[in-house]
Chains A and B, each alone.
Chain A
């Protein structure tokens, strides 16, 4: 059983550019969530995808967008990068239920993608 994998591990962009981060969920998990972790802070919820549909969004502007694919992998896209977007971006996967009710609490995180915006 493979865990959550993210790519790239590190990247550097300049202000105004766009970035795409990728995540492969843990085997058997159909729910993927993205979190932003600024240096010295706890992770903050960006959004969650369940069976390819957005299922909740945190307090992030629309230039943060995402996708989930039929194999449950996911992408996070950030447009018009700002200096404050520099952070560790974490992907987490979790098992849902066939009935659609997300009643399990366990989330398993990847190692993250470290984004630096200059």
Chain B
């Protein structure tokens, strides 16, 4: 049972552009929504996270938009850089148990 659906599977963006990754969840009991960045051969690293009582959170070039009624949330990467090329996972959490999306492989072309 896929509880968190992520799209697209892969994304190519030009340097300086905006990267947008979308996720949808089913279980309304989730109370924490993090995004992780993973480079090849490495473990996932926490990028940014949001709780469902907030509609938007911004940290530097990274912004999460959260729509509780639609059970959707998205990651926006502004001014995308080649160093942002990685796989990104959204997740939904309850009691620190994460359900991950399938991942998005992001490539930033110079």
Contacts and interface: CB of A to CB of B under 8 A. Distances in A.
Contact of B46 (A40, A45, A107): A107
A105 B99 contact: no
B32 A56 contact: no
Contact of A105 (B32, B43, B44, B89): B32
A106 B95 contact: no
A17 B41 CA distance: 25
A102 B98 contact: no
The B contact surface, by secondary structure, is strand
A41 B38 CA distance: 12
Interface in A89-115: 90, 92, 94, 102, 104-112
B83 to A, nearest CB: 19
Contact of A41 (B31, B45, B103): B103
Nearest to A109: B43
Interface string B85-100: 0000101010111111
Contacts of B31: 105
A114 to B, nearest CB: 8
B95 A102 contact: yes
Interface in A44-73: 44-45, 48, 55-56, 58
Contact of A90 (B6, B44, B93, B96): B44
Nearest to B99: A45
| Interface residue range, chain B | 20 to 34
Given A105-B31, A109-B43, A110-B43, A44 B100 contact: yes
A111 B93 CA distance: 21
Nearest to B100: A42
A33 B95 CA distance: 11
B46 A106 contact: yes
A55 B96 CA distance: 10
Contacts of B96: 31, 33, 48, 94, 102, 104-105, 107
Interface of B: 6, 31-32, 34, 36, 41-46, 49, 51, 89, 91, 93, 95-103
